[in-house]
Structure 1
């Protein structure tokens, strides 16, 4: 899970921000700008794009914060705005080069090779950062949302405008793609020095 939910912002500051208080806006920006940038960079892998998306995220946050009801953590709401902006950016990039979500899926592995992912091998571990760099954009997004940010398949599907089965399939396919890296990493790395990759649920 990312740092978003660990950041505590007083409700009085949120209310001030909703009224347009610039000082309150600055407090919220300073508290969340680093995790927002980190999320955007995970998706784009280009610092300049991540910086632009961070600004876009906070423009949207400050524009919409008056509608934030406070029945969930502010950080969770900001995280969703950041993820939405990052996915919109990726969809735009796919469209510009004539690539669809389905094209990204088909570029991974054949359906008959996708059976279990790495959940069937819980003893395997891998440097997640290194592993994600080798995945396609859509696969990287699904793995990051599910395994790091803690999104459910239903939530991922809603963010991407796809079905839950699409999200589950992408995660399984990504794990299939990662298996050779898992095997190589486990063979050369001391136990406990890398992150364990969760399974499909």
Structure 2
């Protein structure tokens, strides 16, 4: 489940932030910093790049919150900014040269993703390792679709591709995960791997 769904903030604080109240800006940051970082680390697989995306996201949030219309929850608006910033980094040539990190670096900042205990936690750790073996783009599509709840059309648009591109990346990614899980003898995972698109 997306940590953005668990974060919330009083609309009065958002109104104050829109008027330039610095204390309200700080409260918005405190409410959404971890979800932004968790999203960025899942897409980019690099803690330094995730930190930069988090900083860039909140610079833009503070700069543009005065124009936030309130058509959607503020968390959805911030999430969209964070996704766009992370995908810009993912598309950059510098990111493609970076070495993928081990699965332990992909852990959410405060373990918002419930892993359960015992065997379930071991299965989730194995899934984390397997996700780290996918290409960054495929991993990003899986995360954005399965966890963040974006549609294929939205993912395609954000990546400068088509909805079909998103569908094929998701299908290939799920198939690779199924094969890796079968090879590892896993039956059940903490993230449902399905054919639904």
Alpha-carbon shift at residue 95 of structure 1 (Å): 8.3
Matched residues in 2 for 1:138 and 1:96: separation?
10
Matched residues in 2 for 1:16 and 1:63: separation?
14
Report Cα offsets for 1:154-198 as digits up to 9, x if no partner: 11011111111111011111122223212124x256x5x643223
Deviation larger for 70-79 or 54-63: 70-79
Report Cα offsets for 1:83-119 as digits up to 9, x if no partner: 110000011136876xxxxxxxxxxxxxxxxxxxxxx
Show the counterpart of 1:136. 135
Question: What is the correspondence of 1:69-148 to structure 2 with a 5 Å cutoff?
Answer: 69-93=69-93, 127-148=126-147
- Across the aligned residues of Structure 1 and Structure 2, the Cα RMSD in angstroms comes to 2.1
Matched residues in 2 for 1:94 and 1:162: separation?
20
Report Cα offsets for 1:25-47 as digits up to 9, x if no partner: 00000011011111111122111
In structure 2, runs of 5+ residues without a counterpart are 98-122
Asked if 1:175 corresponds to 2:174, the answer is yes
Show the counterpart of 1:28. 28
**8 Å CA contact 2:17, 2:24 repeated in 1:** yes
**8 Å CA contact 1:168, 1:200 repeated in 2:** no
> Secondary structure of the residue that 1:195 maps to in structure 2?
coil
Asked if 1:157 corresponds to 2:153, the answer is no
**8 Å CA contact 2:174, 2:194 repeated in 1:** no
Show the counterpart of 1:59. 59
Q: What TM-score, normalized by structure 1, do the two folds share?
A: 0.77
Matched residues in 1 for 2:96 and 2:172: separation?
25
Show the counterpart of 1:102. none
Show the counterpart of 1:114. none
Q: What TM-score, normalized by structure 2, do the two folds share?
A: 0.79
Question: What is the correspondence of 1:6-45 to structure 2 with a 5 Å cutoff?
Answer: 6-45=6-45
Distance 1:75 1:94, change over 3 A: same
Distance 1:184 1:70, change over 3 A: same
Equivalenced residue count is 171
